[in-house]
Structure 1
Amino acid sequence: MASSIVSSIGLGTGLNITEMVQALVSADTAAKKAQITRQTSNNAAMISGVGSLRSALTAFQDAMKKLNDPNAPSFNAYSAKSANEAVIKVTSSNKAVAGSYSIVVDKMATSSKVASQQFAGGSTSAISAGQLTVSQGGNNWNIDIASGATLESVRDQINKELNVQGVSANIVNAEGGARLVLSSTTTGAGSDISLSGIPELQIDGTVKMSGTGAGYITDPAHDAELTIDGLKVTSAKNTIDSAISGMTLELTGVSAAGTSTSITVAADNEGLQKSVQSFVDAYNTLQKAITSLTSTSRDDDDNLVLGPLTNDPTTRSLVNDIRKVLSEVGAGSQLTTLSQLGINTTKDGTLEFNSTKFNAAMNDKKLGAEVQELFTGTNGIFERMNKAIDPYNSTDGSLATRKASLDKVAKNLADQQLALERRTESLTESLTKKFVAMDTAVAKLNAQANQIKSVFDALNAQAKNS
C-alpha cells in the first residue's frame, strides 16, 4: 500500500499521515464492516444449527430403523430359547405362543454334490464342443462349450454363468485323474444336479459315483427330518419358519441317539421394556438437541443470548409435527397410545417412562402382543414419525433447502467482504497519495518561506552594519 512507502510523519506538515488515513478509511468503512461481520456470524451460526438439527434427526431415524430391523426384531412379546444350540437355534416373532417343545433332529437338509467321470489328462483335458445342459429341480441351464475347451475352462464358464443360480464348479485332482465337481446352495430332496449334452461330462445326479464313472459323491440331496413333540416334520431347508407358529427353527446339527432338545417360549416383558426404553432414550436425545439449538441464555453481562435456531419457524414447525405423532391414537385394538405403556411428555418436551405402569400393562392387561404393532406396524409410531420428519430431513427437504439458501448468503457475504477489502485498499492508497502530495506542497512552501526569510535576515544584518 502507498502508506507503507512513506514516512508516517509528514515532512512538511508534521502530521501522522498513516493514522489520519486509517481514521478516515475506518470512518468510511466501519459501519459496513460491522454489518458484514454481524451477518456472517449469525449466518454461520444458523448453518451450524441446521447441520446439528439434521444430524440429530438422522440419529433418531437410525435408532428407529435399528429397532425395526427385520433380522433382529424388537418389541417381540415372547422370547424363545434352545437348550442345545449345537442342534437347533430358535427365534420367535410377535405371533409366538408361550409353551415348550421337545425336538429331535434326525437329518439335516443337504444339497447336491456330484462329480464327472475321471480324466487321466488332468485339468487340461480336452472337452468336446457343444451345448452343456445343467439341470436341477426342474430347471435347465444351457452353456455353449466352444471348440478347444478344457476341463478347466468349462469349470470357469460354469462358475461365471451359474453362480447366480447357486451352482458352482471346481476340479479335484485325485489318484487316477481329475474330476469336475459341482455343488449347489439349494438343499432338499429333488435338488440333485445332472449334466447332459457333452458325452464326457454326462452326470446323473441320482446315481452314486462308482469307479472312474460319474454320479453323486456321498449321498443324493435330501430333506431335513425332525420330530416336534413326536410329530414328524420334513423340510427342504435347514431354516424352518412354518413348523411352529411364530417361531423360526435353524437346524445346526443332528441329535445324539436317544436325546431331544427342549425349546421354551415365554413372555419377554424385560426385552419389551428395553426396546421401549431405547425409543424413549432416542427421542429424548433428539429433543435435548433441539432444545439446545432453540433456547435462550444470559451471558456474563446479563445480555440475552439466542440459540442458532431460536424463533426459527421451520424448527418450530418440525417440533410440532413430531410431538403430534406422540399424541395420536394408533390403530391397535387395545393398545393405542404411548401413555398406556407409561410414556408421557414432560414440561421440557422429553419423555418419561414409568416402569410400574408398563409392568401393569404387561402383566395385568396383557398388552405385550400389541406393543410391536403400536411401534412398527402399519401406520405405527415409527412410520408416522418418519412421515413427519422426512419433509424436513430428506435430501430435498426443507432443511436441505434452508442450508442451500444459507450457503448462498454466506457466499454473498464473502463477496461483500472482498469488495470492502478492495475498497479499503483503494481508499487507503488514494488518501495516502493526496496527503503525501499535500505534505510535499507544504514542504516546498516552507522551503520557499525559509529562503525569503533568509534574504530578509541578510538585508537586516547588512543595514545594521552600515
Structure 2
Amino acid sequence: MAISSPGLASGIDIKGIVSQLVALERAPLVPLQQQAASFQSKLSIYGTIKSMVAGLGDAAAKLSDPKAWDLVKGGSTAPDKVGITVAAGTSPTSMSVEVQSLAKAQSNASTAIPIGSTVGSGTLNIQLGSWATGDFVAGSGTAIDLSVTADDTLSTIASKMNAANAGISATVLRDASGERLLVRSKDTGADLGFRIQATDDDGVNTDAAGLSRLAYDKVAGSFHGMALSQAGANAQATVNNVPISSASNTVKDALPGITLNLSQVTTTPVELTVINDKEGMRKNIQGFVDAYNAINSMLATATKYDPDTKVAGSLQGDSTAVGLQNALRGMMRSITPGGTFTRLLDIGIEIKNGGTMSVDASKLDTALSDPTGLKALFTTKSSNPASQGFGLKMDAFADGLLAANGLVTGRADALKNSVTRNTKEQDKVADRAARAEVRLLAQYNAMDAAVGRLNGLSAFVNQQVTLWNKNSG
C-alpha cells in the first residue's frame, strides 16, 4: 500500500515530530547568531574608530607642519581698490600703496562693414610687442601668419585668430552700422601689445579696402587699418612713495611673499598690513581638539556600562578599546622638552573628567602671540621619540595604530576572522540539521509504511475470521 503523506497510515504527526527534532538540531544557531551580531557590531565600531584615528592623525599632521605656524594674513583699508594676499612665512609688515593707473590691454576695432560680408583674401601677420616708443618693437615671441580666404567673413576671421594662439583674442561687434572686428591682447602691459600686418591679395597692403583694413601697423609715420581703442599700458603705483610699474594688475614680484591686486585708481593712500594669522592657527588647533573629542566620545560610549538600565556598550570589557582610550589620554599629557611650551596644558588645552579635551580661549590667545614657541611644541624633531614635537608624536601614534600590525587594525582583523569562523559554524549547524531532517523523515516514513502494512494484514485476518465464523454457523 502506497503512503501518500507522512503519518497517514499510522496516524502519527510525523512532520510535527521531525520538525521539533530538527529544531533541536538547529538550536545552537541561536547563540551563534547572537554572537555574530555582536561581532558585526564591534567590527562596525572599529571601522568607525579607524576612520576617527585617521582623522586625528591628519589633524596632528597639520600641527606638525612648520608652515602651520608661519601663517600670516594680509589686510587692506580699501580691499576694493588694493587687495593683498600673503604667502606663509612672510614677515609681518605694513605699507602704504597708491595707484595712479591700472594696467591695460591693447584693443583695436575695424571699420564697420555689412553684416555677413567678406573682406578679401590674403595673409595677416600677428606679432606681439611694444608701441611705447611710438614705433613697434617686436617681442621675443614668434609671429603668427593667418591665412584668410575670399569667402571668410569677420566671424570666420575672428575664429581663426582665436584658434591661432597668437596672444590676442577677437570677437565681432554688431550694431545698426554693421559689424566690426574687435581685437584685444590677451594680457595687459605695454610690452604685450600687438601689430597686425596685411599681405593683401588685391596688391595694396596699406589702404582701407580689402584685407588691409584689418591691419594695425605704422608706415612712414602713419597708422593704417584698424583704429586703436586702447593702448597697452603698465600699471603705475607707489609703495611707501616708491614708484613701481607692473605689466599686470596682479603684482607678484615687487614684494617677497606678497601679492598686490590692483583694482582701482586711488585718490588717497591705501594702508596694507601683514600680520600673524592667529585665527588660522586657532582653527588648526581646534580641528585637532574636535578630532580627539570625537574618538574619545565614541570610546567612552562604546565601553561604558549603565547600572540603571543594565545596558553595556558594544565594547564594554574590550581590552583593546580600553587600552586605546588610556593610551590616547596618556599621549595628551606627554611632554616636549626644551621650548617655551612643553605641554598642551601650557597653551590652554586640557583634559577634563571623562577624558574630554577643552580649550582655554584666553590662555590659547596668549600662546598664539608666540608662534615660534607654538611651532617648537608641535614640530620639534628629535632622535628620541618621546622628545618629538607633539604634532609629530600624535601623527606617528595614529600611523602606528592603523599599521598592518597596529592595535586598531589588528583588533579589526581579529573580529573579521571571528565573523568568518562564526559563519562556518553556522553553516555546519544548518548542514547537520538538514541532514538530520532527511534521515528522520526517512526513518519515520519507513515506520509509517510498516504500520500501514501491519494494519492491512490485521484487516485481512479479521475479515477471514469473520468469514469462518459465518461458515461454521
Matches of 1:460 and 1:260, distance apart in 2: 140
Tell me how far 1:19 sits from its aligned partner.
Answer: 2.5
Matches of 2:53 and 2:254, distance apart in 1: 41
Alignment correspondent of 1:222: 234
Q: Which amino acid in structure 2 is aligned with residue 89 of structure 1?
A: G
Alignment correspondent of 2:118: 125
Write the mapping of 1:64-83 to structure 2, written as runs, cut at 5 A: 80-83=74-77
Tell me how far 1:22 sits from its aligned partner.
Answer: 1.8
Write the mapping of 1:391-430 to structure 2, written as runs, cut at 5 A: 424-425=433-434, 427-430=436-439
Alignment correspondent of 1:87: 81
For the 8 Å contact 2:128–2:192, the answer to whether it is kept is no
Residues 361 and 68 of structure 1: CA distance in aligned 2, closer, same or farther (over 3 Å):
closer
1:156 to 148, 155, 159: 159
Alignment correspondent of 2:242: 231
Residues 394 and 187 of structure 1: CA distance in aligned 2, closer, same or farther (over 3 Å):
farther
For the 8 Å contact 1:325–1:384, the answer to whether it is kept is no
Matches of 1:432 and 1:63, distance apart in 2: 64
Tell me how far 1:65 sits from its aligned partner.
Answer: 8.8
Q: TM-score w.r.t. structure 1 length?
A: 0.69
Q: TM-score w.r.t. structure 2 length?
A: 0.68
Residues 438 and 58 of structure 1: CA distance in aligned 2, closer, same or farther (over 3 Å):
same
Write the mapping of 1:29-428 to structure 2, written as runs, cut at 5 A: 29-31=26-28, 33-34=29-30, 36-38=32-34, 40-57=36-53, 59-60=55-56, 80-91=74-85, 95-97=90-92, 101-110=95-104, 112-115=105-108, 117-118=110-111, 120=113, 125=118, 135=128, 138-140=140-142, 142=144, 145=147, 150=152, 151-160=154-163, 162=165, 168-173=169-174, 175=177, 177-184=179-186, 186-195=187-196, 200=211, 213-214=225-226, 216-223=228-235, 225-240=236-251, 247-256=258-267, 259-263=268-272, 272-273=281-282, 275-293=284-302, 295-297=303-305, 302=310, 306-307=314-315, 310-312=318-320, 327=334, 329=336, 334=340, 338-345=344-351, 348-362=354-368, 366-368=369-371, 371=374, 385-386=394-395, 389=398, 424-425=433-434, 427-428=436-437
For the 8 Å contact 2:60–2:392, the answer to whether it is kept is no
1:186-231 CA-to-partner distances (Å, cap 9, x unmatched) read 3333122445686648755999xx99723653121322x2233433
Of the structure 1 ranges 39-48 and 18-27, higher mean CA displacement relative to structure 2 is found in 39-48
Q: Which amino acid in structure 2 is aligned with residue 20 of structure 1?
A: I
Alignment correspondent of 1:432: 441
Q: What count of residue pairs does the alignment treat as equivalent?
A: 439
2:450 to 441, 449, 456: 441
Tell me how far 1:442 sits from its aligned partner.
Answer: 0.6
For the 8 Å contact 1:13–1:439, the answer to whether it is kept is yes
Matches of 2:115 and 2:40, distance apart in 1: 71
SS of the residue 1:307 aligns to: coil
Matches of 2:113 and 2:62, distance apart in 1: 56
Q: Which amino acid in structure 2 is aligned with residue 114 of structure 1?
A: S
1:382-427 CA-to-partner distances (Å, cap 9, x unmatched) read 67655654576699x9988997997788678667766765664554
Q: Which amino acid in structure 2 is aligned with residue 213 of structure 1?
A: G
Alignment correspondent of 2:17: 20
Q: Which amino acid in structure 2 is aligned with residue 187 of structure 1?
A: T
1:151-207 CA-to-partner distances (Å, cap 9, x unmatched) read 544543554563xx97543233464543152341x3333122445686648755999
1:246-285 CA-to-partner distances (Å, cap 9, x unmatched) read 65432222213xx233345666656654553343223322
1:66-110 CA-to-partner distances (Å, cap 9, x unmatched) read 9999xxx976776554332221233555544365x4432222233
Q: Which amino acid in structure 2 is aligned with residue 41 of structure 1?
A: A
Residues 387 and 430 of structure 1: CA distance in aligned 2, closer, same or farther (over 3 Å):
same
SS of the residue 1:140 aligns to: coil
- Gapped regions of structure 1 (runs ≥ 5): none
Q: Which amino acid in structure 1 is aligned with residue 107 of structure 2?
A: V
Matches of 1:384 and 1:129, distance apart in 2: 71
Q: Which amino acid in structure 1 is aligned with residue 128 of structure 2?
A: S
Q: Which amino acid in structure 1 is aligned with residue 318 of structure 2?
A: T
